[in-house]
Amino acid sequence: MKITISVLKADVGSIGGHLKPSQALFEEIKNFVASHGKNKLIDYYISSTGDDVAILCTHTGGVGNREIHQLAWEAFLAGTEVAKKSGLYGAGQDLLKDAFSGNVRGLGPAVAEMEFEERPNEPFIFFAADKTDPGAYNLPFYLAFADPMYCSGLILSPKMSQGFRFRIIDVSYTEKNKIIDLNTPEDLYDLAVLLRDTEKYVIESIYSRSSGAQAVAISTQRLHNIAGKYTGKDDPVAIVRVQGEFPATGEILAPFSIGHYVAGFMRGSHIGPLMPCKLNTTISYFDGPPVVTGAAFSIKEGKLTEPVDVFAHPFWDTVRDEVSRKAMEIRKQGFCGPSMLPFSELEYGGVVEKLNQLEKRFRLVD
Ligand code: 13P
Ligand code: 13P
Ligand code: MG
Ligand code: MG
């Protein structure tokens, strides 16, 4: 049976700054999806990570389906109304356009979706990250799908030994989708050359080379590309199918133990370590640190089991301690050098105005 999993995610308002949506906002979106999605969806799961609300749903309508996107758009609008009424911060933050035009891509919300032939048993993980951007997944998914140091299946499983095809998108190009496909293991170094630049080149999807089946879909929307200015970070979601011809669940999770440095800490302008957190985690220190949550599911004919919280295990407490230390370490450096994002990212904020003013005060002397 062909199934589509769609995740549509937006920040439409939160309590106490950019911390967490209110229960009332969350319930509004949930009730909206429950009542209006009745004849459209097989199943759904609503969750929040930091100040973002994600609608994960299963259906048979395919990728980019107008009805599904409209349902999510209207659910986010309903949530925005609640946010406005209760004075939440950033009400409607990610809804950048006034009118729905058939697809939420380009309107602000993040989207990750894939359609596939459901296997007899079909496990997958849904990741949601806050206070970061889509490039945050470059390193963990490179390691999980292309590096036998992290993914033992690449040498142990005959189904995986042919490697994977990575589709990379140049998110700085806004006219069209500018993509390149690279195959591992033979294109490994070329892949590394692109993935090192997490603000420009982002993994959009990954495919098994033995079966051709899609393993990964990541939201690659860039809000400042749509708005032309800083309006909040892009807080990416991802769907990752696991086991069989794909890495095992634990192989996908392993690289998140690094707590690697990503973009998006405080005002979307700083570098901070990515902390793997429990589901429904809020935001704190320096509007961060950047967080990622993971919910593992199995599905049968599109029906979801209950989620397993992949970062709830005691193992991750030690990782979180280490990530906290890394966060404090880079924060000691304040605005200086690599703790802040490069100019190309900051140019959407107030830094440009400031530099333009200062430029006039520079003097040329011998
Ligand atoms: P498969 O059964 O999908 O090959 O995975 C084995 C496994 O999960 C060991 O970690
Ligand atoms: P969000 O993108 O999650 O709304 O965060 C914005 C911000 O600037 C936090 O400091
Ligand atoms: Mg926000
Ligand atoms: Mg957010």
Extents of the domains making up the chain: 123-298
pTM > 0.75: yes
Q: What is the mean pLDDT of residues 246-256?
A: 98
Nearest ligand to the CA of 18 is: 3
Residue 51: CB within 6 Å of ligand 2?
A: yes
In this predicted structure, what is the pLDDT of residue 349?
74
Q: What is the mean pLDDT of residues 141-158?
A: 98
Q: 138 alpha carbon to ligand 1 midpoint, in Å?
A: 23
Residue 133: CB within 6 Å of ligand 2?
A: no
What pLDDT band is residue 211 in, cutting at 50, 70 and 90?
very high
Mean pLDDT taken over the chain: 95
Q: 356 alpha carbon to ligand 2 midpoint, in Å?
A: 25
Is pLDDT at 347 greater than 80 in this prediction? no
233 is catalytic: yes
Selection from 253, 301, 296, 250 nearest residue 47 by Cα:
296
366: CB partners within 8 A, 6+ apart: none
Q: What is the mean pLDDT of residues 218-232?
A: 81
Is pLDDT at 257 greater than 80 in this prediction? yes
Place of tokens 């990752």: 240
Residue 20: CB within 6 Å of ligand 2?
A: no
SS3 state at 67: helix
Nearest ligand to the CA of 252 is: 1
Q: Which range (42-46, 154-158, 334-338, 347-351) has the least confidence?
A: 347-351
Q: What is the mean pLDDT of residues 237-266?
A: 98
Return the percentage of the chain with pLDDT > 90, whole number.
Answer: 89
Q: What is the mean pLDDT of residues 169-183?
A: 93
Ligand 1 atom nearest the C-alpha of 251 is 10
In this predicted structure, what is the pLDDT of residue 231?
74
Residue 108: CB within 6 Å of ligand 2?
A: no
Burial of 219 (0-12, 13-18, 19+ CB in 10 A): buried
